[in-house]
Amino acid sequence: SISCVRCRRRHIKCPGGEPCTKCIQAKSACEYIEADKKIVVSVRYLQKLHDDVARLKKDNISLRASLKQAKTRSVSETNSVADADSDAGNSTSALDSLLETPDVDSILSATFSYNTASNNPSEPNTGEGTSNHNDEVVAPFVDQQRQLVYSRTGEKFYVGSSSMTLFGIQVQNMIPNNESEIVSGENPSLTNTETVLEREGNAYRIMLGKTKTRPGISVNFTLPSYSYAMLLVDTFITYNDGCFYFFNEGVVKENLRRVYNGLGTDSSDSIIETIWFCKVLLIFAVGEMYLGTANNINGNKSQDAKLPGSGFFHQASELFTGLFASGAIDNCAREGGIEVLLLYAFYLQVADCTVASYFYFGLALRASLILGMHVDAEKDNVTRYELEHRRRLWWTVYMYERMLSSKAGLPLSLNDNSIGTELPDDFDMFNPPPGCEHYIFPEAEYITNCVKITQINAKILSCLYQKQPNSNILPVLAELVGQLIEWRTNLPEFLKADFNAKDLQISRLVTNMMTEYFQGMNLAVRPLLFHFASKQLKTHKTDNKYIDLSDYSKSIITLFNSSFQASINTIRSLWSLMPENMVALFGYMDREYLFTSAATLILFNAAFGVHQATFEHLDHALQIFTKMRNLGNHAAALRRAQLLKLMSTLDFNKIMQPLIAKHTDD
């Protein structure tokens, strides 16, 4: 018979039942881990299923793109006329308003451009409506300069409009028939003789030759079985597809198919091939983390107590160290380099290595800037598929840099006003050009709305936590909360969830977006909540009295209610995913969002005495943390202990003692 988690941890026989009698006697939560079930299918059938899913995804996205174009075509002429009139009226005072606008207002008004799904350059500025004087009209300077140049070693990198390198090229190009060799010439050849790849079955050996700054190294690694490899990729996609973009599903799966069939990857460059192997090992590591249990090479559970995915991560780390050592740091800008940096930083985040994760996310951001991904550099020289790939990759780097800065309380590394890349968009994926047949892009609404909510949360971080208003924060706070509510109101119907329903139904991907929205709401209202909680602790600490919000303005009550509902709905969203095993029990975001929401509810209890409304949700949060802890998630165990300590410390009237006792164990 199957033993419950508590009896198994104590190495005693479990009498069975839900709950079992031993857990009833100990007044502890009784929990069973569902046993794995296995079925045997042929590899050919598995490949057929993957091909069918990929084809259906492409068809779905193409149909959505066609529908969107049909809807926008009917209103495009009216909007273009209105926009032209508005631009003409606003351009006369643009410089004056820019000089007079405070920093906070500038941050609040920053927006990003929608994807035009077109590679046509902008129309030249005619200067109409911009001035009534006889001054000479000067064409825009920045938009013309988005290009990459080659370094001496053959790597391409972006040079901005103020670069001295670009200035020299422009001066040269002013002379007729004197095109710059740096821009128009062929890139210098890249020698890859220092890298050797050997294979025997699924076992590989990569030898990276000695350089001036790195000794020669030899790395051995083994790929899992094909079925387990595809399971790990699919698991990764299930948790992130659409909201974030770490790699292209179709391209990775096609290369996996080639590798397992003995055809090798689609690249003849051994460095790029090594980067690809490092990337797939990191994908396997993150996929196994989402599965929640460490497995051996064939997918069977391992008995060793270790972080899921750590085996793949350690193999990838050896390749990572050799690829991106100080003398070879330029490899970050090679094909697949940014994807590897993203995945490496993401797993470090899961492993609770916050400082290292922040560093490598920053490195991914710098590498993206070097390639000009923040301004759509070279968009006229790549296919629509490659452009969409670059854009989605850039916005994922942007979001994770923003989110980790928020969680760690660190300053933002890049100002939104420096970004010229358009937002991702759906487009017609029928009849792809050669080399793009395997690209798969999920619906753009997921990632674009994730970008927007991340931008609003970054504004909250900048306005309230790093550059605070000099006096009253309420006006800025109300403006930020208004932007959050507007974002939620403008979501398309298929991305909305009915939080008024008693039995909440929400998908994993919508949970990704909504928990970030709820996090922003809590982040915005937190200074106000701390103010009232501190006031309560000073005046009514022991007399069983709580703050009466009826004495305060409607705006303050609305702000508090927004944060209160955000905390409750975060826990409800994650709790609703538990029966489907879709909570990332080793994931960083789920853990931190759960902790933030539960801690916020505890503060509401201390300040306003809303214990009855929060009891069930705090119980659910602690149950999720208990399951995380029992699986070996040490960071979650620490968060769980912190919640119980906070709950006990602020429970002056002993109202939450039954819940504290229920979750206090040895």
* Per-residue pLDDT, 166: 52
Nearest to 451 by CA among 513, 385, 509, 390: 513
Q: Please tell me the predicted confidence (pLDDT) of residue 111.
A: 61
Is the CA virtual torsion 488, 491, 406, 518 positive or negative? positive
Q: By mean pLDDT, which of 9-23, 288-302, 572-586, 592-606 is the weakest?
A: 288-302
Q: Span 565-588, mean pLDDT?
A: 93
In this structure, of 108-122, 161-175, 342-356, 364-378, the range with the lowest mean pLDDT score is 108-122
Per-residue pLDDT, 486 = 94
> What's the whole-number average pLDDT of the chain?
78
The answer, yes or no, to whether residue 648 has pLDDT greater than 80, is yes
- Sheet bearing 195-200, strands edge to edge: 195-200, 203-208, 217-222
What DSSP string describes 310-340? HHHHHHHHHHHHHHTSGGGGGGGGSTTHHHH
| pLDDT of amino acid 237 | 93
pLDDT for res 342: 94
What's the pLDDT score for residue 139? 47
Average pLDDT over residues 133-147: 50
For the ranges 37-41, 317-321, 376-380, the lowest mean pLDDT is seen at 37-41
- What distance in Å separates the CA atoms of residue 479 and residue 484, rounded to the nearest whole number? 9
Pick the range with the lowest mean pLDDT from 167-181, 221-235, 388-402, 499-513.
Answer: 167-181
Whether residue 163 has pLDDT greater than 90? no
pLDDT over threshold 90, residue 234: yes
- Report whether pLDDT(586) > 60: yes
Task: Please tell me the least confidently modeled range out of 94-108, 405-419, 425-439.
Answer: 94-108
* DSSP characters over 549-574: GGGS-HHHHHHHHHHHHHHHHHHHHH
Report the pLDDT value the prediction gives residue 99, as an integer from 0 to 100: 34
Ramachandran assignment for 585, one of left (phi > 0), alpha (psi -120 to 50 degrees), beta (any other): alpha
According to the model, what pLDDT value does residue 431 have?
82
pTM: 0.75
What average pLDDT score do residues 619-643 get? Answer: 92
pLDDT digits (tens, 9 = 90+) for 6-45: 888 777 888 888 888 888 888 888 888 766 666 666 666 6
At position 541, the amino acid (one-letter code) is K
Task: Pick the more confident residue, 89 or 174.
Answer: 174
The per-residue pLDDT for range 537-561, each reduced to its tens digit, is 887 666 678 888 888 888 899 999 9
The pLDDT of residue 160 is: 55
Q: What's the pLDDT score for residue 164?
A: 52
Averaging pLDDT over each range in 34-48, 62-76, 155-169, 250-264, which range is the top one? Answer: 250-264
pLDDT at position 405: 79
Q: What is the mean pLDDT of residues 464-480?
A: 77
Q: Report the pLDDT value the prediction gives residue 531, as an integer from 0 to 100.
A: 87
pLDDT at 572: 96
Q: What is the mean pLDDT of residues 137-160?
A: 53
Q: What is the pLDDT of residue 570?
A: 97
Q: Mean pLDDT throughout 573-585?
A: 92
pLDDT band for position 102 (cuts 50, 70, 90): very low
Percent of the chain with pLDDT over 70: 71
3-state DSSP of 246-301: CCCHHHHHHHHHHHHCCCCCCCCCHHHHHHHHHHHHHHHHHHHHHHCCCECCCCCE
Q: Is the dihedral of CA 526, 570, 448, 588 positive or negative?
A: positive
- Between 288 and 76, name the one with better pLDDT: 288
Sign for the pseudo-dihedral over CA of 278, 282, 283, 285:
positive
Cα distance between residue 278 and residue 284, in whole Å: 10
For residues 450-478, give the mean pLDDT: 82
Most confident by average pLDDT, 98-102, 333-337, 510-514? 510-514
- What pLDDT is attached to residue 27? 80
Q: Is residue 136 over pLDDT 70? A: no
Q: Over range 175-198, report the average pLDDT.
A: 50
Neighbouring C-beta atoms of residue 401, cutoff 10 Å: 23
**Three-class SS of residue 239?**
helix
Q: 129 pLDDT band (50/70/90 cuts)? A: very low
Orientation angle between helical segments 508-539 and 384-408, nearest 10 degrees? 20
Percent of the chain residues topping a pLDDT of 90: 30
Q: Taking residues 421-449, report their average pLDDT.
A: 88
207 - beta bridge partners? 196, 218
Q: Quick one: pLDDT band at residue 622, thresholds 50, 70, 90?
A: very high
Q: Work out the pLDDT band at 121, boundaries 50, 70, 90.
A: very low
- At 514-535, the pLDDT tens digits run 999 999 999 999 989 988 888 8
